[in-house]
Chains A and B, each alone.
Chain A
Amino acid sequence: MLQLIVKRLVYGFLILNIITVFLFVLIRLIPGDPVRVQLADAAVSQERIDELTAQLGLDRPLWAQLGSWYAGAVRGDFGESFSTGRPVASIIIERLPLTIELTVLAMAVAVTLGIVVGTVSAVRRNSWLDNVLRVGSVIGLSIPNFWLGLLLITFTSIVLRWVPPLSYQGPLENLGQNLAQMLLPAAALGVVLSASIARLTRSSMLEVLGSDFIRTLRAKGASETVVLFQHGLRNSLIPVLTYIGIQIGGLLGGTVILEQIFALPGLGRTVFEAVSSRDYPLLQVCVLLYGAIFIFVNIVVDVSYGWINPRMRRAD
């Protein structure tokens, strides 16, 4: 088990380094000098441009820039934001918790709703309820999450005459208001993701319920609750878990746009601002961080297989 974790961590670290180099090369490959673009509007002298270029190290060869970035990174210094001049690390520490909270809430909605709907569908197979839920799931996975977010806020404001409070409050300052602000974006992200989780849970559950050991359980007189939940659902969860690991990327991407719609100052909002102002030092670290979260979640998923299925604890 420990070996598996270490192996995954090492590979994850390797992937993060590839992402770093990939982003570095991409930024410098693309035509258009970031400094010139940054200063495009203002009338600046060539001297000022040269000065800024030198200050940012953009006049040095690629490998040297990469080297000094790493030298800073190991000390926790990721450079300064172009547009605000603040250290990138402190901006991110300030903005990251909101995005994590939103992602966790959305995931909670998606997993709960998806597994409940999928299980009900499988247990009541081919009933009218199953058909309704299945059609709903197919439609659900074709709806863009940002559209659902827009529909939700349109509905609540016109029909319920309620809009989320505008000025952001952290969960520690004002939990009620914080949750009120998170409610709609988390629901939009979660409901869309739950559709595919429900589909997968249904097919996985049907496969498990059709297997021999379930028949044996019923034959020896196990109650339906034990059959369905302790054995059926538990064994159906492995593919669902893998899928959740893959889908975390879509969910994180969704936070960028939903934070924008609902005016939430999280990491997604930061990425968007960094993109708009071509704030490369900030942008690069944000993108890298998204990659790191994705990799981390997938390591957790891999490790949790062993928790769900003891047979997998010994797997390589």
Chain B
Amino acid sequence: MSDRFPETGGAGLGTVVPARDESVVDAERLPGEGRWDEMRRFAKTQPVGVASLLVIVAFVVLAVAAPLVAPFDPVAQDRTAFLVGPSGKHVLGTDDLGRDILSRIIHGSRISLYVGAATIAVSMVIGTLIGIGAGYIGGAADGVLQGIIDAVLSIPPLVLALFVAALLGPSIRNVILALSILEIPRFARIARGEMQRVRSEDFVDAAVALGASKVRVMLRHGLPNILPSLIIVASLGFGIVIVAEAALSFLGIGTPPPNPSWGLMLSQGTTYFQTAPWLVVFPGLAISLAVLAFNLFGDALRDFLDPKLVK
């Protein structure tokens, strides 16, 4: 139970990213390789990673440019077009209030990506700081933290999210808070394990011998070396958060209506699945495509950054 981050992965499960090159700043690059060379190597060795990155970029563009791209206003109701199937005017059909599904999905990507990015950013910063501190300092504080992490991770993620979201009430900000409570231990656990590994490296001893402060050792020498693992957790975590947001909204405890959250759209589908199956199909496809892209990108990053897995 030491390694929980490859939630979605098969290959590499149970392997902790091994000790890397000891140059501190450019930990994962090959000798003599610049940043551009590294990206070129990624493009060459990880075609699936590049393709999934393109899908992610496409979602980001759609989200940013939603008002320009979407053919209709996502919340505008059209009394003349209730539950119209996919057609020329409404490519993906309309819902029970005559709202255009395609436009709602495009605007929905804003919510999913915003919640995902905010949650990952908050939990990555907090979780990493906690994890690095515990991993470096060790002792009783580390023991207590370990217990708390195990406790939080023992509660099924959706149940905990429901619990917190229910205490806070439905709003996008509260969804981010609730999901951050789920994700912080995930980052803390990886950061802690990696920091324990880095702590025993020679370059850390050298830095300490040269008189570097604890904080400096943790942030200047520890952090860059554990960053690759954290980025992988972040990419895979993005997929988890998108599904969790959809699940909470589906249950009516996440993003409040009339916001076009993908999960909220699916919950409308439960009423009309026999007469209007497009309400069930398309928002789910959007969720799956986004999650697939983040999963594949995370997998590609792991294969790329983890030299032990190169075959």
Contacts and interface: CB of A to CB of B under 8 A. Distances in A.
Interface of A: 14-15, 18-19, 22-23, 26-27, 30, 32, 137-139, 141-144, 146-147, 150-151, 153-154, 157-158, 196, 198-200, 202-203, 239, 242-243, 245-246, 249-254, 256-257, 260-261, 271-272, 275-276, 278, 283, 286-287, 290-291, 294-295, 298
B246 A199 contact: no
Interface string B264-297: 0010011001100100110010011101100110
A291 B151 contact: yes
B211 interface: no
Interface stretch (B29-37, B125-133, B164-172): B164-172
B13 interface: yes
Interface stretch (B3-11, B67-75, B84-92, B103-111): B3-11
B247 interface: yes
A32 B168 CA distance: 9
Interface of B: 1, 4, 7-11, 13-14, 147-148, 150-160, 162-169, 239, 243, 246-247, 250-253, 266, 269-270, 273-274, 277, 280-281, 284, 287-289, 291-292, 295-296
A50 B1 CA distance: 46
A22 B185 CA distance: 14
B1 A242 contact: yes
B295 A138 contact: yes
A272 B162 contact: yes
Given A18-B151, A253-B157, A275-B163, A144 B10 contact: no
A278 B281 CA distance: 32
Given A257-B247, A294-B155, A144 B162 contact: no
Contacts of A196: 8-10
B167 A26 contact: yes
Contacts of B156: 249-253, 256, 290, 294
B246 A144 contact: yes
Contacts of B291: 142-144
Nearest to A37: B169
A270 to B, nearest CB: 11
A194 B279 CA distance: 26
B10 A199 contact: yes
A151 B280 contact: yes
The listed residue with most A CB atoms (<10 A of its CB), out of B155, B160, B164, is B155
B243 A144 contact: yes
Majority DSSP secondary structure for residues of B touching A: helix
Nearest to A292: B154
B273 A200 contact: no
A22 B167 CA distance: 14
B59 to A, nearest CB: 14
A261 B270 CA distance: 7
B159, B168, B269, B291 — most chain A CB neighbours (10 Å): B159
A275 B253 contact: yes
B163 A146 contact: no
A294 B154 contact: yes
Nearest to A251: B156
B147 A19 contact: no
A30 B168 contact: yes
Nearest to B160: A287
22 contacts: A18-B151, A19-B154, A30-B167, A137-B10, A141-B8, A142-B292, A143-B284, A144-B243, A147-B280, A147-B284, A157-B274, A242-B14, A253-B156, A253-B158, A256-B156, A256-B251, A272-B162, A275-B162, A287-B155, A287-B163, A291-B154, A294-B154
A15 B274 contact: no
A150 B273 contact: yes
A251 B296 CA distance: 22
A157 B150 contact: no
Closest 5 CB pairs of A and B: A199-B10, A253-B158, A142-B292, A147-B284, A253-B156
A196 B239 CA distance: 14
A249 B252 CA distance: 21
Contact of B274 (A27, A158, A199, A257): A158
Given A157-B274, A239-B14, A287 B159 contact: yes
Contacts of B13: 200, 203, 239, 243
A287 B152 CA distance: 11
B181 to A, nearest CB: 9
A61 B251 CA distance: 33
B284 A144 contact: yes
Q: Which of A144, A157, A203, A256 has the most CB of B within 10 A?
A: A144
B296 A295 contact: no
A256 B1 contact: no
A183 B269 CA distance: 21
A166 to B, nearest CB: 14
B288 A144 contact: yes
